[in-house]
Structure 1
Amino acid sequence: MKSSQQSGFTLIELMISLVIGLIIVAAALVLFLAGQKSVAIQQGASDLQDNSNFALNYITKDIRFAHLGNATAAMTGSVVHGGIVLTSTNLSATDSTETKYFSRSAVDGSSNVDIESDQLVIQYLPIATGGFDCEGNTINSTSEYVIQRYFVRKDTNFNDSETANTALALACDAGRYSGDTATNFGDDGQIIMKRVDYFHVLLVTENSAGNFRDMTIANYLASGTEPRILGVKIGVLARSSQTVGPESIIDNSREFDVLDKTVSLKSSIQSASSRNLREVITQTVAIRNALGDRAS
């Protein structure tokens, strides 16, 4: 009776099979990780697109209302009910609103870069009811001025890759004004742009000689001449709300040009292992209600 012979893998064949299997698993893992990175980057890019296409358009739409209802077209820091609120005179001669709620340059604790963010405050008199202010409150009167403050503040709703100090957002605080003091004004407002590292404002001005100049709010207030304001330029350094991982292609030490300022991220953010997509978004807004020769 013949005995049956059994054959199997030799040791070398087994080792080769294992190596081939490991190579296939490694290739699949690389593809999976690459896919995860791609999804994270696409999500970050989507966040930035939302900021640029929706939030900034929402802001500029409201800024165009500034100075609406004023009897004179000239808009300066001393015009009562002027569209850009720079001083108490823009509200009324006896206004008691604190100066920290006026348009200002470099507000403390309001940025993730080496320069503090600005604050822009506008006001206008509605010509019809039924609209909404930047907080979503219904406009019910055409005899009350709407006052809106755009500023950067901390967002208490942040994810695990952020800290309470770096989770900054651009918010808008809206109130009403009919007497000597603004009401429902000076709170945290509503967030309109989720993640903002820096917010900068320039005033587009024209002096008595017809020369145009872009001025920071601080320079305008210090000039003593109060040239006419025709528009504003706003610049935002926005970032994605989700990290895209420790990507070496994203350089946190790079500089960003935001209008007339060149800024760098704070050292604590530069040294962080996680990375976020960032983009500078700018917009120039002509304030149509401040153009022309209309006089009271």
Structure 2
Amino acid sequence: MNKFKQQGFSLVELMVSMTIGLMISGALIQVMLGNNVTERLNQAVSSVQESGRFIITRLRNDILMTGRYDNLSPDLNRDVDIAVEAGVVQNNPVALVGDFVSGAGIGSIEGANGASDTLVVSAQARTDCRGYKLGYAADEEFYVVNQYFVSGTSLQCRGYDGRVLRGQKVAANNDGNKAYTLLDDVYSFQVQYGVTNNFASQDNSSRPVRFVTADALNALRTAGSQVVAIRIAVLLKADSEVMIDPVPSFKLLDETAYQPTEKRLFKQFETTITLRNVKNFVRSRNI
């Protein structure tokens, strides 16, 4: 006969053990959920940062060449009077509505009531902003007009042959001026223009003395001012389901502060691009 009594846990001991186990499990679940939220937030921040760096770099590379026109370039197509064309490109690097006889509505526009702006710039280049040759030979450069705008929530660009817009030739191989999407989830695209003093000031230097919106450019250009810098701001939404509450408001350039209605992660990016070709042209006129 067994001299020792077999004993187990009492009901109270089992209840206490189960309670402690549940508390530990709950804590572990909370830690796991917190780590998951943190990971998704980090992914969202990384995503929007990557998108912001990409679009700012892309726009900077495109817009940096604004106003470029090299009459001596051996690659420049010479089907038109390039001396006249040089004056058009260099004096009007930022195109305004009404500049073109065959594209009267094409030009830089200030969006109404905080809506996204439209930017249109000109330069001598091998391709337009979409990479199209527009009927020119592979090694030829031509008068390119690039348009940047927001459609829905997509920042897009569309390229034109400046000679077609001026009524000097017929469009060729232009794919119907199909727009090319540069980046999705763009909720605002704002532009300002750094202008020099006018001729009357006797100080029409290559320095921007103030930044204005597109609706002020026509009068300033008529008075002899020149756009020598472009400031751009974009508001992007992260590609993530992370909820942010409350969503902060954002102030892009001179616009009224804007608060997105979606409770998602948004981030704004800004850059100022000096138009070195235009600055050099302005300096040359003062010699």
TM-score of Structure 1 vs Structure 2, range by shorter chain? 0.7 to 0.9
Contact map agreement 1:86 1:102 (CA 8 A) in 2? yes
* Partners of 2:94 and 2:3 in 1: CA distance: 102
* Partners of 1:3 and 1:98 in 2: CA distance: 108
* Partners of 2:178 and 2:224 in 1: CA distance: 30
2:193 counterpart of 1:203: yes
- TM-score normalised according to structure 2 size: 0.76
Name 1:287's counterpart in structure 2. 275
RMSD: 2.8
Contact map agreement 1:125 1:142 (CA 8 A) in 2? no
Q: Secondary structure at the match of 1:136?
A: coil
Query: Aligned in 2, Cα 1:21/1:137: closer, same or farther, shift over 3 Å?
Result: farther
Contact map agreement 1:174 1:185 (CA 8 A) in 2? no
Contact map agreement 1:103 1:121 (CA 8 A) in 2? yes
- TM-score normalised according to structure 1 size: 0.74
2:72 counterpart of 1:84: no
State the identity %.
24
Q: Secondary structure at the match of 1:289?
A: helix
Query: Aligned in 2, Cα 1:51/1:3: closer, same or farther, shift over 3 Å?
Result: same
* Partners of 2:216 and 2:88 in 1: CA distance: 21
Q: Secondary structure at the match of 1:30?
A: helix
Name 2:216's counterpart in structure 1. 219
- The alignment covers a number of residue pairs equal to 250
Letter of the aligned partner of 2:232 in structure 1?
I
> 1:100-141: CA deviations, max 9, x gaps?
x3210116xxxxxx7201010112112xx5xx5432335735
Query: Aligned in 2, Cα 1:228/1:222: closer, same or farther, shift over 3 Å?
Result: closer
Query: Aligned in 2, Cα 1:103/1:32: closer, same or farther, shift over 3 Å?
Result: same
Q: Point out the structure with max Rg over C-alpha.
A: 2
The correspondence for 1:275, drawn from 242, 251, 264, is 264
Name 2:83's counterpart in structure 1. none
Contact map agreement 2:238 2:264 (CA 8 A) in 1? no
* Cα deviation, residue 285, structure 1: 0.8
Query: Aligned in 2, Cα 1:256/1:229: closer, same or farther, shift over 3 Å?
Result: same
Q: Secondary structure at the match of 2:151?
A: strand
2:147 counterpart of 1:152: no
Considering fraction of residues, name the structure with more helix: 2
Higher relative contact order (CA 8 A, sep 6+): 1
Q: Secondary structure at the match of 1:80?
A: helix
Consecutive unaligned residues in structure 1, runs of 5 or more: 72-78, 108-113, 155-167
* Partners of 1:204 and 1:174 in 2: CA distance: 23
> 1:188-239: CA deviations, max 9, x gaps?
6222233222111111101222371211001223556362111111111222
Considering fraction of residues, name the structure with more strand: 1
Letter of the aligned partner of 1:136 in structure 2?
G
Q: Secondary structure at the match of 2:267?
A: strand
